[in-house]
Structure 1
Amino acid sequence: MEIVAAQRLTFRYPDAAQPALTEVDLSIRKGEFVVLCGASGSGKTTLLRHFKRELAPVGNASGSVRYDGCPLSELPDGRAAEEIGFVFQHPESQIVMDTVWHELAFAMENRGYPQVVMRQRLAELSSFFGLEPLLQRSVHELSGGQTQLVNLASVLLLQPRLLLLDEPTSQLDPVAAREFVHLLRRLNEEFGVTVVASEHRLDDILPLADRLVVMADGRVRYDGTPGEVCRRIWASGDARERLYVPSVARLLAALDGAGTSAASASDAPLPLTVREAVAALDRLAEVRAPASEGSADEASEAAGMRGQATVGGAEARRQPAPSGVAQLRSLICLSARRDADGPAEALSCRDLAYRFERDQPDVLRRLSLQVREGELLAVLGGNGAGKSTLLQLMAGLRKPQRGKIAIAPGRRIGYLAQNPMLYFSSDTVREEFARAAVNAGYKSGAAETEIAHWSDAFGLGELSDRHPHDLSGGQQQKLALALALLPRPDILCIDEPTKGLDPDAKEAFAALLLQLREEGMTIVMVTHDAEFAARHADRCALLYDGEIAAAAEPPLFFGGNYFYTTAVNRAVRHRYPDAVTAEEVMRRWTTEAARS
């Protein structure tokens, strides 16, 4: 029996040229685990909010939404509050109290739960999420990932029957993200909680889901089991749609020659788990036929991997993983300047130490890191490791208690925080651009040129008259990025820039980063997106225990890790231990085939 259903649901935001939802028919059965995906602005968040009555957007709506057999609008307030839980895309938007334990108790207090029930549930959930060390902390001192975990726990404390999540893993590190999606599956299987999650990071969550629903232009485009939907997407031959197929499945489909008429007609679901991928790769290795040298480009095209200029540029700069002494040097923390004939330093951190309060331990201690001119450096690490704090120190927004940050003379620094909402204070996108241009010191003619350039680069032209708060999460992220780039800084510090971006938007953003680097910009990016960092970063650094534990080029950095690696590496490491991208696997595969 269905727990929630939309019937011919159509919705248009005020003054919007096109509807956000158009005659959506979608029924979610009790106990299902459903993943929603699609491009930014495709209607995922709008649809989710229609399933939570209190969060339904303002605008013109038609059609109906039913919950447990009755109209959602007629559901008693108590049931609506307790039985339908919602986790926001931006965790800061959901926090209402001052400390972590007050936040966790807030919803239960509002519902009038007895203290013994509140204490029992709070103890159980805080222990499960590992939140005990944070209970007395101010919510303003939490990292983005820690804030997201607090939000998840606070919603689960009401023990909802329907759990709606809008990109819940976007600010979680790879370890926490995997643990969380497995927690969702446990809640779904052991307690019968129906889960509907909107996600762009599909590699970990799709193998656990019962259904995959792909939205496009406010409509449901695909609906079925994940393996079946991925096969149908691949068979469509659409390069953009193929980006929604997880990287391992894309790779195996390309290696298997999918995209040809024979392969496209196959009804076999694409492999989604590492175990399935390993078995499929071994089978292909046994039966593969010799290939010509020119087949590498054909295979990459079949894989539906767009943005070859970006990928090719990154791969061209990246040599095979070093060995011996060179390998050891790459893994040592970078605490000394490079040789005189090496790349110059754009920014240098030496022996940094920082803590939020005098009686708290250091978040960063003895941290040293050199950022080279014109490179894209990706900083990874666990939630709460201090990545955002490090970025704020680099940007001059905080001052270290000890240590020194040196910036090359004449360099201007730009900064983009995790939460794009911090950058919006005007009523329309057009006004946001105009305000940013004035702050950057542009005169009227130059301002119009720069605004047009960045608006076109991020596809924001059609949104000029929309209120920033009415944009989707991905569109808000694009707007914030455009505002940060408008002054054209020499060094750009960006915190989780791919959060909320769909796969197609990520490819466009990667192409933009390549262009900016070619123009001389230096970029420091904090990210949890291992796939993006592996494909596009020049170097990656791991922040652990207040220090830079390792810094190296992606093949050496990601190769062999259990969690801080790519899905492709986990699937092929038995054959290609240091291959971390699908492009590298394709290159080696076709080279071996040509030699056989």
Structure 2
Amino acid sequence: MEILAAERLSFSYPEEDRDSLHELSFTVEEGEFVVLLGPSGGGKTTLLRHLKCELAPVGKASGKIAYKGQPLSDLPAELAAAEIGMVFQNPDAQIVMDTVWHELAFSMENMGYPPAVMRSRLAEIAGLFELEPLLYKPVHELSGGQKQLLNLASVLLLQPKLLLLDEPTSQLDPVAAREFLQTLHRLNEEMSVTVIISEHRLEEVLPLADRVLLLEEGVLRFQGTPRDFVREAGQELHAPHMAYLPTAARLFLTLEPDAVQAPRESIPLTVREGKRWLHALAAAGEPGMGAAATGASNLAAPASESGLLLSCREVTFRYSKDGAEVLKKLSLSLYRGELLAVMGGNGAGKSTLLHVLNGLLKPQRGKVTLAKGVTSGFLAQNPLLYFSYDTVQEELQQMAEYAGLSKEESGREIARLLEIFQLGGLLPSHPHDISGGQQQKLALAMVMLLGPGILLLDEPTKGLDPGAKERLAALLGDLRRQGVSILLVTHDVEFAARYASRCAMLFDGGITSEGTPEEFFSSNYFYTTAVNRMARELLPQALTIEDVMNAWSAFASRS
């Protein structure tokens, strides 16, 4: 039975020349798990907001959307609020109350549920999401990932039939993201909740999908099963879509000469399927199996004291006099021209560490030292903090003026950043009207205009599509070659493994381990890449597809 149907749906924002959605036609069956793919600004968030009629954006719309055969716009407000739930991309945009308890109760109070029903549902959901220790905690003290879990729990308390999610794992650590998606899968499998999820982090979510919808420039480019999507992406004309595939599928298409003709069921999507296929290649004596592989994409990081730009020694920090210590005698160094990736679970204190390093928070004990004459630029987790003007163009121009750039320098540097981040077409747009990924790119471009010697980045790849990540990596590589040092906090294991020169783990207030990506990730069990989980027994230090290909080529040259 169809739960949702769109017929020739088109939409354009006010004063926009092109459609943000153009003649979309698709259906969603009750109980399906649908994944929305596509580049930032491709229309995914706009489509999801149209499916939640209370959040439909202002603009010119045409076409039809039906929910269970009834026009979506005709649904009674109470029914629409209860049966169609949505989790936003930015968790702060959804939270309205002061404590976790009040936030969970808020939606049920608005629906007029009896107190007994409210307490029963709250007890059930708090147990499912392990929220009991947080119930009386102020919301502002939660990490970004904890806020996102709270948002999902709040929506599920109304027991929706259709669940819409916009980049829900962007602020979750790898373990929490996996658990979050498995919870969605359980809801889908056991409760038949229909799920439509927009996601760039596809390693875990694509294997769960019944169907994939690919949106590019507001046009529906593909709809079908995940394995059909893999076969189409593997064809030469659709090679740019390879970046949206899980690692197991990309490695399969890379190493198997006749992959696009292979039977659909033989295409691996999960790590387990990829490992079985890879071990079968090894048993058949295929190249590269058993060879040592190391990453070649990372720039060497200097480790001499003369190149030390930023250091903290024995730093201890707590938010209140009687509060728990968030950082405990933490020591860390950042050297010229390196990219240091700091990882850790949600609530471990990673964002707090960046605030301390940037001088926004003062530690109770310990010392932070910045090399003489070196300036730092800071990108916070929430890009909306950086926007004060009515257009993207004004934001960039005002930041260039603040940075002291001349008119000529300003024009040249803004043009360069617009090209790198592909923001040129958004200059007249309001920063709050663009997608989350585009907001992230705009905020980073504004920080880059300051020309800092040190970049402190909090989740810089959050909300970015694979192509945007590649361009960001190229920019960071250029900066490193110029001597700029970068410290980024990230949950993006694949990005850190491919581009960092050093990685560190923050746990229990201190740095528990650090080393090169090969040393760091090959010793981890959860915090490692999909390639490493698939190939660890054959290629212990292989982290990326390039590493496996290097081993393949090395074997072939010896044969």
TM-score, length basis structure 2: 0.96
Change (3 A) 1:44 1:290: closer
Other structure's SS at 1:205 match: helix
Asked if the contact 1:379/1:525 (under 8 Å) is kept, the reply is yes
- Show the 5 A alignment for 1:112-511: 112-257=112-257, 262-268=258-264, 270-287=267-284, 312-314=296-298, 317=300, 341=304, 344-511=307-474
Return the alpha-carbon distance in structure 2 between the equivalents of residues 21 and 267 of structure 1: 34
TM superposition shift of 1:312: 5.0
Asked if residue 528 in structure 1 is aligned to residue 491 in structure 2, the reply is yes
CA contact (8 A) 1:429 1:467 kept: yes
Runs of 4 or more off by more than 6 Å in structure 1? none
- Between the aligned partners of 2:53 and 2:287, the Cα distance in structure 1 is 59
Amino acid at match of 2:269: L
Q: Matched residues in 1 for 2:373 and 2:307: separation?
A: 14
Give the structure 1 partner of residue 90 of structure 2.
Answer: 90
Q: Which amino acid aligns with 1:162?
A: L
Paired with 2:57 and 2:359, the residues of 1 have a C-alpha distance of 38
Instruction: Give unpaired runs (5+ residues) of structure 2.
Output: 289-294
* Residue identity opposite 1:22 in structure 2: H
Q: In structure 1, give the amino acid aligned to 2:261.
A: A
Change (3 A) 1:263 1:131: closer
1:399 shift after superposition: 0.8
- Separation in 1, partners of 2:120, 2:237: 53
The letter for the 1-side match of 2:376 is I
The Cα shift of 1:450 comes to 2.3
Distance 1:19 1:155 in 2: 30
Question: Which runs of 5 or more structure 1 residues have no equivalent in the other structure?
Answer: 292-310, 319-337
Q: How large is the Cα RMSD of the aligned pairs?
A: 1.7
Shift of 1:313: 4.2
After superposition, the C-alpha distances for 1:526-581 in whole angstroms (9 at most, x for unaligned) are 00000000000000110001110101110111114221011111111121122111
2:510 counterpart residue number:
547
Residues 205-214 or 90-99, more deviating: 205-214
Q: Distance in 2 between matches of 1:289 and 1:528?
A: 33
> What is the aligned-residue identity percentage?
57
SS state of the match for residue 383, structure 1? coil
Equivalent-residue separation in structure 2 for 1:153 and 1:513 (angstroms): 37
Please say if residues 9 and 22 of structure 1, whose CA atoms lie closer than 8 Å, have aligned partners that are also in contact. Answer: yes
SS at match of 1:243: helix
Residues 361-384 of structure 1 deviation map (CA, whole Å, 9 limit, x = unaligned) = 111111111111111000100000
In the alignment, the residues of structure 1 paired with residue 469 and residue 485 of structure 2 have an alpha-carbon distance, to the nearest angstrom, of 19
1:137 and 1:431 map into 2 onto residues whose CA distance is: 39
Task: Give the distance between the partners of 1:439 and 1:4, measured in 2 at CA.
Answer: 49
- Larger mean CA deviation between 160-169 and 233-242 belongs to 233-242
Cα separation, partners in 2 of 1:552 and 1:165, compared to 1, 3 Å: same
Deviation at 1:432, TM superposition (A): 0.7
Kindly tell me the number of residue pairs found equivalent between the two proteins: 552
- Matches of 1:448 and 1:499 in 2, distance apart? 27
Q: Look up the SS of the partner of 2:62 in the other structure.
A: strand
Note the C-alpha offset of 1:508: 0.8
Q: CA deviation at 1:287?
A: 3.9
Contact 1:290 1:595 in 2 (8 A): no
Q: Is the 8 A contact 1:560 1:578 kept in 2?
A: no
Cα deviation digits, residues 117-161 of structure 1 (max 9, x gap)? 111111221222122222222111111111111111111111111
**How high is the TM-score relative to the length of structure 1?**
0.90
Q: Distance in 2 between matches of 1:580 and 1:435?
A: 41
Alignment of 1:16-35 (within 5 A): 16-35=16-35
1:585 maps to 2:543: no
Q: Is the 8 A contact 2:300 2:338 kept in 1?
A: no
Question: For the structure 1 residues 523 and 61, does the alpha-carbon distance in structure 2 shift closer, same or farther, using more than 3 Å as the test?
Answer: same
Aligned to 1:512: 475
Matched letter for residue 412 of structure 2? T
Counterpart contact for 2:234–2:242, Cα < 8 Å: yes
Quote the Cα distance in structure 1 between the aligned partners of 2:412 and 2:496. 31
Q: What are the superposed Cα offsets for residues 38-68 of structure 1, whole Å, 9 maximum, x if unpaired?
A: 1111111111111000111111000011111
